[in-house]
Chain A
Amino acid sequence: QKEVEQNSGPLSVPEGAIASLNCTYSDRGSQSFFWYRQYSGKSPELIMFIYSNGDKEDGRFTAQLNKASQYVSLLIRDSQPSDSATYLCAVRGDSGAGSYQLTFGKGTKLSVIP
């Protein structure tokens, strides 16, 4: 059973601060890693993906991957109240059937305080 673990939070940060969200995964064969943002009552929205060790930056978001430690993180710089949402970590393996299913963590709820 593949597992993806996240701290459920809530994680509270002041506006303008850096929010750090963490995720660990159990399957060493995992290939790609995704971060989704989900506002209350809405569907998940893809914000970042990463598949190589190291950092990947996109605007205020940075994804970090360490495959040796089976750890992936998301940093949000200059956090805004509009970043308040639940962040889902997802991991993709290879089912062998040509479908690349994602296994999701339970999500970390982020609250950015004005």
Chain B
Amino acid sequence: NAGVTQTPKFQVLKTGQSMTLQCAQDMNHNSMYWYRQDPGMGLRLIYYSASEGTTDKGEVPNGYNVSRLNKREFSLRLESAAPSQTSVYFCASNVKGSYSNYGYTFGSGTRLTVV
């Protein structure tokens, strides 16, 4: 059982380049999330998908787009990378439902540097 798998683990981009971060979970979770983590800023929500077919903006969505490809996969795209997007990106998932007290399961992260 792999849990949440993120690819790639490391990436260096030049300013203006585009890329897609991939995330897949095999736990049959409904909801998936993309966060970025920066020193002194904590984890900040970029986008989330409550269920297959829906996506919504989080706290810091500018410069990003997402696609919920199916129940398992949720990708994050940077159309024109900027140095301010240098960060560690985490994908996470959890179950859906009023009585769900379970937190997220996180992927291992993608360390992105934009030069």
Expressed in whole angstroms, the Cα–Cα distance for A99 and B96 within the complex equals 6
Question: A99 near B31 (CB under 8 angstroms)?
Answer: yes
Q: Mark B75-108, 1 if CB is under 8 A from A, else 0.
A: 0000000000000001000101000111111111
Q: A101 touching B58 by the CB < 8 A rule? A: yes
Q: Is the pair A43, B109 in contact by a Cβ cutoff of 8 Å?
A: yes
Task: Give the residues in chain B near A99, CB-CB below 8 Å.
Answer: 30-31, 48-51, 56, 96
Q: Are A43 and B42 in contact (CB under 8 A)?
A: no
CB contacts under 8 Å to B, within A71-114, are: 88, 90, 92, 95, 97-107
Q: Does B43 contact A (CB under 8 A)?
A: yes
Name B101's contact: one of A42, A45, A51, A97 (CB within 8 Å).
A51
* B43 x A88 contact (CB < 8 A): yes
- Bound together, the chains give a CA A106 to CA B100 distance in angstroms of 24
- A32 interface residue, CB < 8 Å from B? yes
Within 8 A of A (CB), among B25-68: 30-31, 33, 35, 40-43, 45, 48-51, 54, 56, 58
> Which one, A43, A98, A103, contacts B106 given CB within 8 A?
A43
C-alpha gap A8/B39 in the complex (Å): 11
Interchain CB contact under 8 A, A43 and B108: yes
- Picked from B30, B33, B41, B90, the residue with its CB within 8 Å of the CB of A43 is B90
Interchain CB contact under 8 A, A100 and B31:
yes
Tell me if A36 is interfacial: C-beta within 8 Å of chain B: yes
Of the listed residues B90, B102, B107, the one surrounded by the most CB atoms of chain A closer than 10 A to its CB is: B102
Number of contact residues on A: which range applies? 20 to 34
In the bound complex, do residue A101 and residue B103 qualify as a contact, i.e. CB atoms below 8 Å apart?
Answer: no
| A61 adjacent to chain B (CB < 8 Å) | no
16 contacts between A and B (CB under 8 A): A32-B103, A34-B103, A42-B109, A43-B106, A43-B108, A43-B109, A44-B106, A46-B104, A88-B42, A88-B43, A98-B50, A99-B49, A101-B33, A101-B58, A104-B43, A105-B42
Give chain B's interface residues, CB within 8 Å of chain A. 30-31, 33, 35, 40-43, 45, 48-51, 54, 56, 58, 90, 94, 96, 100-109
